[in-house]
Amino acid sequence: MRTFVPRLEGLVEWLMAIALAVMMVLVFSNVVLRYGFGSGIAWAEELSRLMFVWLIFLGAILALRRHAHLGMELIQARLPRWARRSCAVLSHLLMLYGLWLFFVGSWAQTLIGLSTYSTVMRYPTAFMASAGLLCSASMMLVLMANLWAIVTGNPNAMVPGEVRPDAATPPNPTTTFASAE
């Protein structure tokens, strides 16, 4: 399990890089063809849109896994340890509920998309909605694992506001931009 997750993350990174490269080539080629020659690739925009949706959702999974989403920990950092952990449990439960709603909605859209096809390429639009299914299910697993770590007191649990021993030293709050010169 310790080698599976990093390998899976690496695979997702490669898929994201390939999607971004293909999108860049398609969009650039379409712009050159449209403005230079008065024509374009009809399916390039549709495929780029599909890849963009998958790129965003895969990136959101990786960001959650690496705790890279934006967050405000100013108030939580000032709370006692038991209150920080309580806030973390509550916020994880709320996020799990939101992700459950996202999963249910994505499931409904995927079922609708099985009989609906894209305009140019004629792929089932379920391909687009299934990105939400994978994203919400994966994010729920990541959150449940961290919630379990918080509840069981695992030192590797990510609790907003707590200073982790492996984290970089936080900057001095009294330092200003002028004094950093």
* Interval 37-82: pLDDT, tens: 888 888 999 999 999 999 999 999 999 998 888 777 888 888 898 9
Sign of the four-CA dihedral 19, 131, 61, 2: negative
Token pair of 49, please?
């849109």
Q: Tens of pLDDT along 72-111?
A: 788 888 889 899 999 999 999 999 999 999 999 999 999 9
Name the burial class of residue 115, with classes exposed (0-12), middle (13-18) and buried (19+) by CB atoms within 10 angstroms of its CB: exposed
Q: Tens of pLDDT along 148-160?
A: 999 998 988 898 8
Q: Tens of pLDDT along 114-171?
A: 999 999 999 999 999 999 999 999 999 999 999 999 999 898 889 887 876 665 554 4
Output 169-172 pairs: Cβ under 8 A, ≥24 positions apart: none
Token pair of 24, please?
């860049």
Please indicate, yes or no, whether the overall pTM of this predicted structure exceeds 0.85.
no
The one-character DSSP state at 167 is S
Which of the four pLDDT bands, split at 50, 70 and 90, describes residue 24? very high
